[in-house]
Structure 1
Amino acid sequence: MIPGPDIVIACPACGALHRYASLRSGNSFGAWGWTDGRVVSPLLPDRPRITRCHACGGFVWVYRAEEVGTLTEARVFEPVYEIIVEHEGPRRVDVMARLRDRSKQSFAEVKELLARAPVVVARDVFEDEARRLVQSLQDAGASASMRRQVIDTGKTPEGPPPEWKSAPYVTHLSERELLAAIAEGVAESWEDACYLRVQAWWAGNEPFRRTEVPWVPWAERSPEARENLRALAAQLSERDPVERLMKAEALRELECFDEARAVFQAGLPKGFEQAAAFIRALAEQGIAELRQLPPTERPEPSR
């Protein structure tokens, strides 16, 4: 495993800084897996895709958050804004005059630009100037707004800013937090929704990966956790071999043993057969507990 630089990101809601450790390379040597699909790989760490902001408490999709910079390379990114005029309003001449004062374009050029509204009328404007320009256009009766972007300044300071170094690392969400994220509807796609449900399932099973902790049936867990696993089982496709294997396991853990066995009727491609046989045997015996897969049935970790 070769670690990469720490990436510093900003919460999209409040701007608070966080960081996560990147990875230049890794491998699955020494990995072990579980029947619920969770794979633990010491040389390929599982990094959270979603976390909670330490400042405002909102949910943050880590890899979609704005990158502020990197600690080791100390590259500096700077926020700039585009100015958009959605509609010029009734005082078109005043709006055109204010745009000409800033851009030094001709009357004809500004007129042609506004004819394409909604249109970007200025780019790479720093925040204070952007706010003044939007306010000026709004005062002239236009419907105007500003949209944040980020540029790489190319600067390499002697060292990262202190606030970058003090930014906390992103952390994995607990089962309760993942269920709350599902309830709040933070998923932006089917993949997001599936990720949240799988992570909540795995988080709920985490205590039982230790052999000394007795299994707690899903019937005795929280209603939200049970509903999440039922919804995930319904959501997973039987056309995809990975999803079909996880669907069967979810049904087995829910003690729907007949349904779990039925998922395997069509068979699975080579590479999935051993894990499928192991899970099917547990279902046939009426065993719902999470189990560690034997060495030959440990799947490669997926990222």
Structure 2
Amino acid sequence: MLPGPDQIIECPHCHALARYGTLISGNTFGARLWTDGKQLAPMLPEVPPFTRCPACQAFYWVEDAPEVGQLNRWGDIKPGTPQAWADAPEVQEPSPEEYQEVLARGRPDGLTGERWEHLLIRAWHRYNDAYRELPAGTGAPALPEPIRTNMVTLTSVLTGESPSDHLLRAELQRQLGNMTQARRELQNVHDAPELVSQMLHLIEAGDATVREFQWE
């Protein structure tokens, strides 16, 4: 992994500054993948696509934030660089509770279908984050009703026929406890036998908790 400079952006609502790291190059060595599709790759860190401004508390998409400059992340601040750039907080992904705050308002006016889908997936992933390290045989608590509602909404939003769409719908149904529907979705995935095999094993075990895929 070769880091690049920090990108300085400003909140589209109040113009407060924030920053996120860029990469010149990266790779997926050591990546971990879970059944809900979330991947963590230490050599390919992700910039949260959606964030909350710590100044005005408004939510925004990072790609909508105006870019105002770049800062060497190694601390070598060039003469004339505004101190505010160096002091800008790093972009943070919303917490599970903050995502629920957004989703409780319903789909925002003017939000594209792609972004709505992405928002629902990110909220689901953030809820699952608390249970990713549970030992085998240990189940997560029953789904809170707002989480269940968001997951049901996501199943209706994911209308594609790609293998990834079928895998995501299968995982949603599995975590919702609908094992028959989950198995049916997996019948449409033919190019990821190892993933399908592990998910079928979880379905047969009645396991409705997010799990990490294991590789031999």
- Equivalent pairs counted in the alignment come to 209
Query: What residue is the counterpart of 2:154 in the other structure?
Result: 232
**Counterpart amino acid of 1:162?**
Q
Whether the 8 Å CA contact 1:238–1:263 is kept in 2: the answer is no
**Which of 116, 126, 130 is the equivalent residue of 1:193?**
116
Query: What residue is the counterpart of 1:207 in the other structure?
Result: 130
**Counterpart amino acid of 2:97?**
R
**Counterpart amino acid of 2:84?**
E
How far apart are 1:49 and its partner, in Å?
0.3
TM-score (norm 2): 0.89
TM-score (norm 1): 0.65
**Partner Cα distance (2:80, 2:72) in 1:** 8
Query: What residue is the counterpart of 2:53 in the other structure?
Result: 53
Alignment of 1:11-30 (within 5 A): 11-30=11-30
**Partner Cα distance (1:238, 1:188) in 2:** 19
**Partner Cα distance (2:161, 2:167) in 1:** 10
How far apart are 1:292 and its partner, in Å?
1.3
**Which of 83, 91, 114 is the equivalent residue of 1:162?**
83
Secondary structure, aligned partner of 2:72: coil
**Partner Cα distance (2:157, 2:56) in 1:** 32
**Which of 289, 296, 302 is the equivalent residue of 2:209?**
289
Which 5+ residue runs of structure 2 have no aligned equivalent?
none
Alignment of 1:74-223 (within 5 A): 158-184=79-105, 185-186=107-108, 188-211=111-134, 214-217=138-141, 220-223=142-145
Residues 212 and 291 of structure 1: CA distance in aligned 2, closer, same or farther (over 3 Å): closer
**Partner Cα distance (2:139, 2:56) in 1:** 35
- Name which one, 1 or 2, has greater alpha-carbon Rg: 1
**Which of 178, 200, 208 is the equivalent residue of 1:256?**
178
**Partner Cα distance (1:226, 1:279) in 2:** 20
Whether the 8 Å CA contact 2:12–2:64 is kept in 1: the answer is no
Residues 164 and 211 of structure 1: CA distance in aligned 2, closer, same or farther (over 3 Å): same
